[in-house]
Amino acid sequence: MTGFATPFVKFRASFPKYKNIGNEREEKMKVLVIGGGGREHTLTWKISKSSLVDRIFCTPGNGGTAEIAENIEIKADDIGNLLYFAKKEEIDLTVVGPEAPLVNGIVDTFSGEGLTIFGPSREAAQLEGSKAFAKLLLEKTGVPQASFENFHNPIEAISYLRNQHFPLVIKASGLAAGKGAIITHSLEEAENTVNEIMVNKRFGKAGERIVIEEFLKGEEVSILVLTDGETVQPFLPSQDHKQVYDGDKGPNTGGMGAYAPAPILPKNEVEKAIEKIFLPVIDGLKKEGINYKGVLYAGLMVTEDGPKVLEFNCRFGDPEIQAILPLFKSDLVEALLMTINSELKNARFEWSSGSALCVVLASGGYPLKYEKGKEISGLEKLKGKKNIALFHAGTRKQDGKFLTAGGRVLGVTGIGSGLKETIETTYSAVGEISFEGMYYRKDIGQKGLRREEQGK
């Protein structure tokens, strides 16, 4: 069931502590956001706008979250200390940003201690934690995808490659921070990639198992949904830009920018994707004894034969969420609580008209070697601008100054009535910011703009 036509009902019934929010005698919520990137700053920013919330903590957070929440120096994968902190502070809702703690079972641990936490269980998070698991599930459920083979042994993988046509995609089965999928165009390149992943351990344990799959031609699009295991409520479709250079050139990154809504997948096509992809996967997991509850993110390739699944993620996309949430008018905390409590059938998301576009500002050298500690200038020029949202990723604040502290440093999101205006607004804001070695793609949103102009 999708949520385009049902009314959005205020979430109160199952959390009586928060009934009649607005009454001064009622206590509001403490929320913990786990993670320290652009996604987590975006989530914190949106959560801070909820009428249900009084206080927000981020672990470990970044320079941006420090301005709207309390940063706590606990790593996102330190589940033991996160649990201790959540119990000590009597956290009412925990929202998990990155995939690693989900795959490592943080939801099971917190739930087992009676804490309310948003995200899928360890078993459900296998959809992202093991590409091999996801591919086999798609095969069982008949969901459209690229043809594939799984391998544990590099010798067997290379033997298989010698009888294939190129290009092919070789993927580390485990978590590789969005960089584990490599397109190969020749046997020599493919053999080197297999050895790099499986023998030289480029991605560590994530590459102990690999997937070799058909190269799909088309255009990529991301669909994120909330699901309580029964109902599916979609967010606006978005389009990420994975490669580091303009024109989709160079190595994969965690994402160099995104925009929403993506015109390649109009509303009726989103409905079809729910029916043909998301619901069969959720039902397929149920048959395995797994109830998926949380956000589910499908990376799709829109081919001549329709959308096919490239990958699943079990968390909010980064940077996609930096383009999606600025257009989301509903209360995010209410939506998350309805997901946790299996009440999504009563929800309908409300959206702002127009579009949003995020450009990621990266450190020179990213996604390979890069330097940290560079002073960031120009941020004050964007404060208070209604059509600009600035999301920190790899930043830290020291002596009143913001410094770079990661590969992806900032996400600059512009909002406009149409994609052309939004692109101009965003890049104008990008021009106000500078730091040594700053790099960004200059073509974010151009695919969507061309598609819009062709449709006129």
Give mean pLDDT, residues 272-293.
96
Residue 16 pLDDT more than 70?
Answer: no
Please tell me the predicted confidence (pLDDT) of residue 176. 83
Same domain (yes/no): 98, 43:
yes
Does residue 340 fall inside a structural domain? no
Please tell me the predicted confidence (pLDDT) of residue 401. 95
Same domain (yes/no): 108, 166:
no
Same domain (yes/no): 98, 170:
no
Which residue has tokens 């949520």? 3
Give mean pLDDT, residues 280-298.
97
Residue 12 pLDDT more than 80?
Answer: no
Q: What is the pLDDT of residues 346-379, one digit of tens each?
A: 898 999 999 999 999 999 999 999 999 999 999 9
Does residue 454 fall inside a structural domain? no
Integer Cα distance of 448 and 260 in angstroms? 9
Annotate 373-412 with b (16+ C-beta within 10 A) or e (fewer).
ebebeebeeeeeeebbbbbbbbbbbeeeebbbbbbbbbbb
Q: Tally the domains of the chain.
A: 2
What is the token pair recorded at 10?
Answer: 């205020």
Q: What is the pLDDT of residues 73-105, one digit of tens each?
A: 999 999 999 999 999 999 999 999 999 999 999
Q: Which amino acid, one-letter code, is at 456?
A: K
Same domain (yes/no): 110, 151:
no
Is the backbone peptide bond immediately before 263 cis, with ω within 30 degrees of 0? no
Region at 289 (left for phi over 0; alpha for psi -120 to 50; beta for the rest): left
Same domain (yes/no): 115, 21:
yes
pLDDT band at 6; cut points 50, 70, 90: very low
pLDDT band at 7; cut points 50, 70, 90: very low
Does residue 323 fall inside a structural domain? no
Integer Cα distance of 298 and 280 in angstroms? 13
Does residue 285 fall inside a structural domain? no
Same domain (yes/no): 102, 34:
yes
Q: Which residues pair with 148 in a beta bridge?
A: 213
Please tell me the predicted confidence (pLDDT) of residue 365. 96
Integer Cα distance of 139 and 127 in angstroms? 13
Which residue has tokens 């799984």? 150
Please tell me the predicted confidence (pLDDT) of residue 20. 39
Please tell me the predicted confidence (pLDDT) of residue 25. 34
Integer Cα distance of 19 and 17 in angstroms? 6
Question: pTM of the prediction?
Answer: 0.90
Please tell me the predicted confidence (pLDDT) of residue 229. 96
Please tell me the predicted confidence (pLDDT) of residue 377. 98
The Cβ of residue 38 has, within 10 Å, a number of other Cβ atoms equal to 30
Does residue 258 fall inside a structural domain? no
Q: What angle do CA 95, 100, 103 make, to 5 degrees?
A: 90
Asked if 212 and 168 touch (Cβ cutoff 8 Å), the reply is yes
Arithmetic mean of pLDDT over the chain: 92
Q: What is the pLDDT of residues 196-242, one digit of tens each?
A: 999 999 999 999 999 999 999 999 999 999 999 999 999 999 999 99
**Nearest to 372, CA basis, from 347, 329, 405, 397:** 405
Look up the CATH number of the domain holding residue 172: 3.30.1490.20
What is the token pair recorded at 173?
Answer: 């089965």
Integer Cα distance of 200 and 111 in angstroms? 38
Mode of pairing for the β-strands spanning 117-118 and 93-96: parallel
Choosing from 177, 194, 214, the residue where a domain stops is 214
Same domain (yes/no): 104, 152:
no
Asked if 281 and 273 touch (Cβ cutoff 8 Å), the reply is no
Q: What is the pLDDT of residues 129-178, one digit of tens each?
A: 999 999 999 999 999 999 999 999 999 999 999 999 999 999 999 888 77
Is the backbone peptide bond immediately before 261 cis, with ω within 30 degrees of 0? yes
Does residue 66 fall inside a structural domain? yes
pLDDT band at 454; cut points 50, 70, 90: confident
Counting beta carbons within 10 angstroms of the beta carbon of residue 454, is it exposed (0 to 12), middle (13 to 18) or buried (19 or more)? exposed
Please tell me the predicted confidence (pLDDT) of residue 122. 97
Rg (CA), the chain: 21
Structural domain of 205: 147-214
Q: Which residues pair with 239 in a beta bridge?
A: 259
Q: What is the pLDDT of residues 376-428, one digit of tens each?
A: 999 999 998 989 999 999 999 999 999 999 999 999 999 999 999 999 999 99
Same domain (yes/no): 111, 153:
no
Please tell me the predicted confidence (pLDDT) of residue 26. 58
Q: What is the 3-state secondary structure (H, E, C) of the chain?
A: CCCCCCCCCCCCCCCHHHCCECECCCCCEEEEEEECCHHHHHHHHHHCCCCCEEEEEEEECCCCHHHCCEECCCCCCCHHHHHHHHHHCCCCEEEECCHHHHHCCHHHHHHHCCCCEECCCCCCCHHHHCHHHHHHHHHHHCCCECCEEEECCHHHHHHHHCCCCCCEEEEECCCCCCCCEEEECCHHHHHHHHHHHHHCCCCHHHHCCEEEEECCCCEEEEEEEEECCCCEEECCCEEECCEEECCCEEEECCCCEEEECCCCCCHHHHHHHHHHHHHHHHHHHHHCCCCCCEEEEEEEEEECCEEEEEEEECCCCCCHHHHHHHHECCCHHHHHHHHHCCCHHHCCCCECCCEEEEEEEECCCCCCCCCCCCECECHHHHCCCCCEEEEECCEEEECCEEEECCCEEEEEEEEECCHHHHHHHHHHHHCCCECCCCECCCCCCHHHHHHHHHHC
End-to-end CA distance of the chain: 32
Same domain (yes/no): 91, 28:
yes
Choosing from 187, 214, 241, the residue where a domain stops is 214
Same domain (yes/no): 46, 109:
yes
Integer Cα distance of 158 and 202 in angstroms? 17
Same domain (yes/no): 101, 172:
no
Choosing from 68, 102, 119, the residue where a domain stops is 119
Residue 456 pLDDT more than 80?
Answer: no
Percent of the chain past pLDDT 90, that is, above it, reads 89
Residue 18 pLDDT more than 90?
Answer: no
Same domain (yes/no): 99, 182:
no
Region at 373 (left for phi over 0; alpha for psi -120 to 50; beta for the rest): left
Please tell me the predicted confidence (pLDDT) of residue 11. 38
Does residue 126 fall inside a structural domain? no
What is the token pair recorded at 420?
Answer: 């052309």
Residue 112 pLDDT more than 50?
Answer: yes
Does residue 187 fall inside a structural domain? yes
Please tell me the predicted confidence (pLDDT) of residue 178. 72
Looking at 111-120, 339-348, 426-435, which range is the least confident one? 339-348
